[in-house]
Structure 1
Amino acid sequence: MKRIVLVRHAKSSWDYGVSDRERPLKPRGRQDAELVAKQFVGKSKVPDYIFSSPAKRAMETCKIFTSVLNYPFENINIEEKLYDFGGVGVIGFVKNLSNNVNEIMIFGHNAAFTNIVNDFGSTYIDNLPTSGLVEIEFDIQNWMELETGKTRQIIIPKELR
C-alpha cells in the first residue's frame, strides 16, 4: 500500500517585483494553510516523508504544515522536479521513489496537482485551490506501478472558514 498527500501551495502575492520562484505567501494564504494543516492532523497520520518544490510559496506552505504536524522542517526534501506545472515531473519523481517509502506528502503547484488528482484519484475535481489538500491511497507495492487509487480525503480551505 502506498499513499500520497498532495498540497497545493497557499495563496501567493504578486505585489513584489520578484521571479516566480521567489513569490511569497499572502497573509490569507498563511491562514488557509494553517486551517488545512489543523484539519489534516485531526483526520490522518502524518506521512513518513515530506517533499517540497523549491519555490518560496511552496516551501513557506510546507513550513506552516510541518509546524502544525510537529514534523522537523530540516527533514524536508526540496526537489527540483516538483517545480512543475503540468504533472509529468511530479509523476516521474514519484515513480522513481524507493519502494521502502510508503507514505509521502508533496507541496507543489497547479495545474500539475489538479491533473494528478484527476488522473490518479477516484474523485474528480475542477481545480485544486490554493492550500487545497488531496490524499490518495494506492493498492501497489512498487511506485513504478502507480495507477488509479482511492481518494481518501479532500480538504479545501474555503470549506473550513
Structure 2
Amino acid sequence: MIQLILARHAKSDWADEGVADHDRPLNDRGRRDAPTVARSVLRRGVRPEVLLSSSAVRARSTAAAFAEEFEVGVTEQSELYLADADTLLEAARATRAREVMVVAHDPGMSELVSRLAERDVRMVTSAVAVFTWHEGDWDDVGTTAPDEFELLTP
C-alpha cells in the first residue's frame, strides 16, 4: 500500500506587509485550523510515517501541528517552497516510505492533487488530500489512478 497525504499550509498572516513571503506566519485562523484538520485526518486512521514540509514559516507551523497529532518528526525541505507538482511528487517518492505527507503551497499543491484525482481540485488553506493505492509501489503513483481519494477541508 502507498498512501500520499498532501496538505496546503494553513491560513497565513498578511498584516505586516514588510514580512518576506517565506517568513509569513500563520494567522489566528491558521493556528486553529491546522490542529483541527490534523485530528480529523488522524480519526480516519491516516498516520504518515514521514512528514515533509516546505521551509516557509507558514508550512513549517502547519507541519508542526500535524506532527504533534501524528507523533512523527518533520523533515524540512527548502525545495518544497513554492514547488511545482512534479517537485512535490518527486520529494514524496524519494522517501520510499509507504505513508508520506507533504505540506506545501499552491499552485503546485492544487496542480498535483488535481492530476492524481483526475479532476479539478482547488486546495484551500488547510486542505488535505489523501490518496491510497492498495497495490503497487511509488512507480505507480502518478501513472495509475488511486484506489481511494478523500479531500478534507476545515
> What TM-score does the superposition give when structure 2 sets the normalisation length?
0.88
TM-superposed CA distance for 1:45, in Å, is 2.8
TM-superposed CA distance for 1:140, in Å, is 5.1
Whole-angstrom CA distance in 2 between matches of 1:39 and 1:93: 24
Whole-angstrom CA distance in 2 between matches of 1:103 and 1:5: 8
Which of 74, 93, 105 lines up with 1:95 in the alignment?
93
Which of 111, 126, 131 lines up with 1:131 in the alignment?
126
Match of residue 116 from structure 1:
112
Match of residue 29 from structure 1:
30
Match of residue 52 from structure 1:
53
Whole-angstrom CA distance in 1 between matches of 2:78 and 2:148: 26
Aligned residue type for 1:110: D
Give the conservation status (yes or no) of the 8 Å contact 2:92–2:102. no
- Secondary structure of residue in 1 paired with 2:91: helix
Match of residue 61 from structure 1:
62
**Structure 2: segments with no counterpart, 5+ residues:** none
Match of residue 107 from structure 1:
103
Identify if the C-alpha distance between structure 1 residues 46 and 95 changes in structure 2 by more than 3 Å, giving closer, same or farther: closer
Identify if the C-alpha distance between structure 1 residues 126 and 102 changes in structure 2 by more than 3 Å, giving closer, same or farther: closer
Residue correspondences, number: 151
Which of 138, 149, 153 lines up with 1:152 in the alignment?
149
- Secondary structure of residue in 2 paired with 1:104: strand
Tell which deviates more after alignment, 127-136 or 11-20.
Answer: 11-20
**Structure 1: segments with no counterpart, 5+ residues:** none
Structure 1 runs (4+) greater than 4 angstroms displaced: none
TM-superposed CA distance for 1:14, in Å, is 1.4
What is the alpha-carbon root mean square deviation over aligned residues?
1.8
